[in-house]
Structure 1
Amino acid sequence: MMSLIQNTIDYSHVVYKYLLDAGLSDNLAKYLNMFALLISLLVVVFLADYILRKILVKTFNQFASVSKSNFDDLLVANKVPRNIAHIIPFLIALEFIPSVLIDFDHFETFVEKSLQVFAIVLTLWIIRSLLNTLKSYFKTLSNLKDKPVDSYIQVFMIFAWFGGFMSAIAIITGIPFIKFVTGLGAISAVIILVFKDTIMGFVASIQVSINDMVRIGDWITFEKYGADGDVIEINLATVKVQNFDKTITTIPTYALISDSFKNWRGMVTSEGRRIKRALNIKLDSVAYLSKEQVDSLKKIEIISDYLTTREQDINTYNTNKNVDKSLLLNGRNLTNIGVFRKYVQTYIENHSAINKDMTIMVRQLAPTTQGMPIEIYAFSNDKRWANYEYIMSDIFDHIIAATPYFNLEIFELPSNSGFKA
Structure 2
Amino acid sequence: MNEIVKNWILENMLPANSMSQELAPLLSLLFLGLVVFALGFIANLIAKRYILTWLSYFITRTKNKWDDVFLDRKVFNRLSHMAPAVVIYLAAGVIFPEAEEHLVELLMKKGALIYMILAGLLVVNSFFSAVSEIYANFEVSKNRPIKGYIQAIKIIVYLFAIILVISTLIDRSPLILLSGLGALTAVLLLVFKDTILGFVAGIQLASNNMVRQGDWISMPKHGADGDVIEVTLTTIKVQNWDKTITYVPIYSMISDSFANWRGMAESGGRRIVRSIKIDMTSIAFVDNADLAEFRKIHLLKDYLDEKDREIQEFNRKTGVDTSNLVNGRRQTNVGIFRAYALAYLRQHAMIHQEMTLLVRQLQPEPNGLPIQLYCFSKDQRWAFYEDIQSDIMDHLLAIVPLFGLRVFQQPTGQDVRMLGLTSAADAK
Same fold flag (TM > 0.5):
yes
Q: Specify the alignment match of 2:50 in structure 1.
A: 55
CA separation of 1:194/1:14 partners in 2, compared to 1, >3 Å: closer, same or farther? farther
Tell me the matched-pair count.
415
Residue 302 of structure 2 is aligned to residue 308 of structure 1:
no
Distance 1:117 1:317 in 2: 96
Correspondences of 1:12-411 after superposition (within 5 Å):
14-15=8-9, 18-21=12-15, 24-98=19-93, 99=95, 104-411=101-408
Compute the displacement of 1:114 (Å). 2.8
Distance 2:284 2:10 in 1: 117
Distance 1:386 1:319 in 2: 52
Contact 1:148 1:205 in 2 (8 A): no
CA separation of 1:331/1:22 partners in 2, compared to 1, >3 Å: closer, same or farther? farther
In structure 2, what residue type is equivalent to 1:347? Y
Distance 1:326 1:291 in 2: 13
In structure 2, what residue type is equivalent to 1:406? F
In structure 2, what residue type is equivalent to 1:59? W
CA separation of 1:95/1:317 partners in 2, compared to 1, >3 Å: closer, same or farther? closer
Distance 1:163 1:132 in 2: 18
Compute the displacement of 1:93 (Å). 1.1
Contact 2:6 2:24 in 1 (8 A): no
Distance 1:16 1:228 in 2: 80
2:4 to 6, 10, 13: 10
Of 26-35 and 9-18, the range deviating more from structure 2: 9-18
Distance 1:56 1:402 in 2: 79
Distance 2:338 2:8 in 1: 106
Distance 1:12 1:125 in 2: 40
Computed over aligned residues only, the root mean square deviation of the Cα atoms, in angstroms, reads 2.2
Compute the displacement of 1:148 (Å). 2.4
Contact 1:16 1:33 in 2 (8 A): no
Contact 2:2 2:28 in 1 (8 A): no
Of 7-16 and 332-341, the range deviating more from structure 2: 7-16
Of 308-317 and 249-258, the range deviating more from structure 2: 308-317
Distance 1:158 1:18 in 2: 55
Contact 2:6 2:25 in 1 (8 A): no
Deviations 1:30-49 (A, max 9, x none): 33333333334334423431
Deviations 1:176-199 (A, max 9, x none): 222221122122122112111111
CA separation of 1:177/1:292 partners in 2, compared to 1, >3 Å: closer, same or farther? same
Structure 1: unaligned runs, 5 residues or longer: 1-6
Of 237-246 and 376-385, the range deviating more from structure 2: 376-385
Compute the displacement of 1:321 (Å). 3.9
Compute the displacement of 1:366 (Å). 0.6
Compute the displacement of 1:100 (Å). 6.3
Q: Percent identity?
A: 37
Contact 2:234 2:249 in 1 (8 A): yes
CA separation of 1:369/1:62 partners in 2, compared to 1, >3 Å: closer, same or farther? same
Distance 2:242 2:258 in 1: 19
Deviations 1:368-412 (A, max 9, x none): 122111111111122222222222112112111121111111122
In structure 1, what residue type is equivalent to 2:183? A
Q: When the two structures are superposed, what TM-score results if normalisation uses the length of structure 1?
A: 0.92
Compute the displacement of 1:107 (Å). 4.5
Contact 2:2 2:32 in 1 (8 A): no
Q: When the two structures are superposed, what TM-score results if normalisation uses the length of structure 2?
A: 0.90
CA separation of 1:52/1:312 partners in 2, compared to 1, >3 Å: closer, same or farther? same
CA separation of 1:394/1:9 partners in 2, compared to 1, >3 Å: closer, same or farther? farther
Of 359-368 and 93-102, the range deviating more from structure 2: 93-102
Contact 2:361 2:370 in 1 (8 A): yes
SS in 2 for 1:302: coil
In structure 2, what residue type is equivalent to 1:172? L
Distance 2:255 2:279 in 1: 44
CA separation of 1:366/1:121 partners in 2, compared to 1, >3 Å: closer, same or farther? same
CA separation of 1:369/1:100 partners in 2, compared to 1, >3 Å: closer, same or farther? farther
CA separation of 1:88/1:131 partners in 2, compared to 1, >3 Å: closer, same or farther? same
Deviations 1:299-335 (A, max 9, x none): 1111112112222332343344443444323321111
Compute the displacement of 1:19 (Å). 4.0
Q: Specify the alignment match of 2:424 in structure 1.
A: none
Structure 2: unaligned runs, 5 residues or longer: 422-428
In structure 1, what residue type is equivalent to 2:4? D
Compute the displacement of 1:21 (Å). 4.1
Q: Specify the alignment match of 1:4 in structure 2.
A: none
